[in-house]
């Protein structure tokens, strides 16, 4: 499982002009991809990382600050551009495998006390955000 975490002042995701998820105060956007070998262990590890990484202001974590997280599924974080001119998506898990794991990640974050907003799995989404810093890290578990 891989996540691109961006520290933001606010963010939203829209589908066909409708806002489906938003955070209106400082927190994180998590663009999350799932690969074929991922399961419950990776979900739990990623939820811990997202909740506990001390990457917000004053070296606080999401849990320390009570900050929100906007989780957006994004298979493209597993795109490979090593060969040719077209990305390969073969490392990304297919929707029927990935969707339940993204849902489990969201549930694990909520169970830990994190306020979570989401995109819509499989939809063409537009993500708008103001990156705070800018600050972006890639987390692999």
The CATH number covering residue 48 comes to: 3.50.80.10
Q: Which residue has the tokens 């490392």?
A: 91
Is 74 noted as a catalytic residue in this protein? yes
Domain span at 88: 2-131
Q: Is there a domain that residue 139 lies in? A: no
> Residue 34: what pLDDT?
98
| Beta bridge partners of residue 11, listed in sequence order | 23, 129
> Residue 9: what pLDDT?
97
Which tokens belong to 72?
A: 């957006």
Catalytically annotated residue among 6, 35, 42, 75: 75
> Residue 111: what pLDDT?
98
Catalytically annotated residue among 60, 74, 118, 121: 74
> Residue 42: what pLDDT?
98
Q: Are strands 126-140 and 69-73 parallel, antiparallel or unpaired?
A: unpaired
Q: Is there a domain that residue 141 lies in? A: no
**Domain count across the chain:** 1
Please answer whether residues 32 and 77 qualify as being in contact, where contact means their C-beta atoms are separated by less than 8 angstroms: yes
Which residues of the chain register pLDDT less than 50? none
pTM, rounded to two decimals: 0.95
> Residue 91: what pLDDT?
95
> Residue 24: what pLDDT?
97
> Residue 141: what pLDDT?
95
Q: Is there a domain that residue 10 lies in? A: yes
């Amino acid at each position: 499982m891989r996540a691109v975490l961006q520290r933001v002042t606010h963010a939203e995701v829209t589908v066909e002009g409708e806002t489906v998820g938003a955070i209106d105060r400082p927190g994180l956007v998590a663009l999350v991809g799932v690969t074929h070998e991922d399961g419950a262990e990776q979900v739990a590890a990623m939820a811990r990382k997202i909740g506990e990484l001390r990457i917000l202001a004053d070296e606080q974590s999401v849990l320390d600050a009570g900050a929100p997280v906007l989780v957006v599924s994004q298979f493209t974080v597993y795109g490979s551009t090593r060969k040719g001119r077209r990305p390969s998506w073969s490392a990304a898990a297919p929707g029927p495998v990935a969707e339940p794991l993204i849902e489990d990640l969201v549930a694990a974050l909520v169970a830990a006390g994190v306020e979570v907003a989401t995109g819509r799995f499989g939809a063409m989404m537009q993500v708008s955000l103001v990156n705070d810093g800018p600050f972006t890290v890639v987390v692999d578990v």
